[in-house]
Chains A and B, each alone.
Chain A
Amino acid sequence: MDIKESKKTYATLRRTRSPIVAFFGLILPNSYYPVVASKEIYDGPLKQTCFPGLNCHACPTALSACPIGILQHFSAIGKFPFALVGFLGAIGIVFGRSVCGWLCPFGWIQDQTYKIKSRKFRIHPGLKYGKYVSLFVLAILLPYFVEAHWFSRICPWGTLSAGIPWVIWNPLNPADSMPVIEPDMIGWLYVLKISIMIAFLVLFVFTSRPFCRTLCPLGAIYAHFNRFSFMRLEVEGQCVDCNLCVDVCPTQIRISDDPNSPDCIRCLNCTVCKNVHVRWGAPHEYSVNEHTPNTAKS
């Protein structure tokens, strides 16, 4: 493929990313509409499978399981989740962190909210380590020691897609004719999760992808696959330090410094620069990018 043609392909990918995520990440995995009549969440064979992105399986219309929900469940019962690790690892080794950019419904919500015109702020780089704390403490250690799914309890996407819809709808359970959500289920924890959700929704307007960068345990799992996944980004030719890549990057990475940064969500926005390309497999011995900043300016 010549350069002109590949640039056209990248432009098409950038243009279609948002509808792709909306359909394959948000609408399709949450399309169990018979729930309106059955008033019970789906428990068919698809619930044995995991969605690769963050998607709460308690959402009334969810068709598959949430990987982090399953990770917490296995921690709580003290079993190693071989199937889950294999599934996420296989995706990670091929695509790196692309799921965050191309399939995650909560990432899509953040992208859309960030489009609201307002003053924008950068996140302190140190906060990116929060997602590892979230993974190890909230999603693994706490469920293991106290048998409670602490990440799910405060997950803003879970609150938005499951917590709020169930409380508002609150149908009578066909099995016992009792409301699905009983009044004593709405206590301080519900107030806490609503507060966290509102705080994040506000933050989404002012800063780009704050949840993915600071709190998402799934992002923490996928992040380091960028270093050795089959899919890679490469910066070819000399970087002229124009900062175009930083301006368009939702996670504010300078791609020329580190094309396979763990923070890169592979949205491909940086392919707007003619030097940035997607490559597959091991790099050619002499084609690995070594950033060579334009020293003429300094």
Chain B
Amino acid sequence: MQSPTRKFWHSNSLKTGLMLVFIGSLIAGVLAGELTLIRIESATL
């Protein structure tokens, strides 16, 4: 039998929640114009 803590770390709810947080962060960064900053840095030798 799994402990509740172990069950939590392996649960699909946690994985899905984190996935949504990361996708939200990605969208927030794109909307904040971070892609331009990435381009300026990566296109400079």
Contacts and interface: CB of A to CB of B under 8 A. Distances in A.
B30 A83 contact: yes
B7 to A, nearest CB: 8
B37 A77 contact: yes
Contacts, number: 112
Contacts of A283: 10
A58 B45 contact: yes
B16 to A, nearest CB: 9
How many interface residues does chain B have, given as a range? 20 to 34
Given A48-B36, A90-B19, A288-B2, A82 B42 contact: no
Interface string B4-21: 001101111011001101
A61 interface: no
Interface string A75-110: 001010111111101101110000000000000000
A64 B43 CA distance: 9
A166 B39 contact: no
Contact of A41 (B14, B18, B38, B45): B45
B26 A87 contact: yes
B18 A228 contact: yes
Contacts of A42: 43
Contacts of A229: 15
Contacts of A48: 35-36, 38-39, 42
B15 A47 contact: no
B23 A86 contact: yes
B45 A90 contact: no
A92 B23 CA distance: 12
A210 interface: no
Nearest to A162: B45
A155 B37 CA distance: 22
A136 B18 CA distance: 22
Contact of A90 (B2, B23, B43): B23
Contacts of A285: 1-2, 7
B41 A70 contact: yes
Given A228-B18, A230-B15, A282-B15, A82 B38 contact: no
Contact of A69 (B2, B19, B25, B41): B41
Contacts of A87: 22, 26
Contacts of B24: 86
Contacts of B23: 86, 90
Which 10 A-B pairs have CB atoms at the shortest separation, nearest pair first?
A83-B29, A86-B26, A43-B43, A86-B25, A82-B29, A89-B22, A65-B42, A57-B42, A48-B35, A73-B41
Interface of A: 41-43, 45, 47-50, 57-58, 62, 64-66, 69-70, 73-74, 77, 79, 81-87, 89-90, 92-94, 166, 180, 227-230, 281-283, 285, 288
Interface of B: 1-2, 6-7, 9-12, 14-15, 18-19, 21-30, 32, 34-39, 41-43, 45
13 contacts: A48-B35, A57-B41, A70-B38, A70-B42, A83-B32, A83-B34, A83-B35, A85-B29, A86-B28, A89-B25, A230-B15, A281-B12, A282-B11
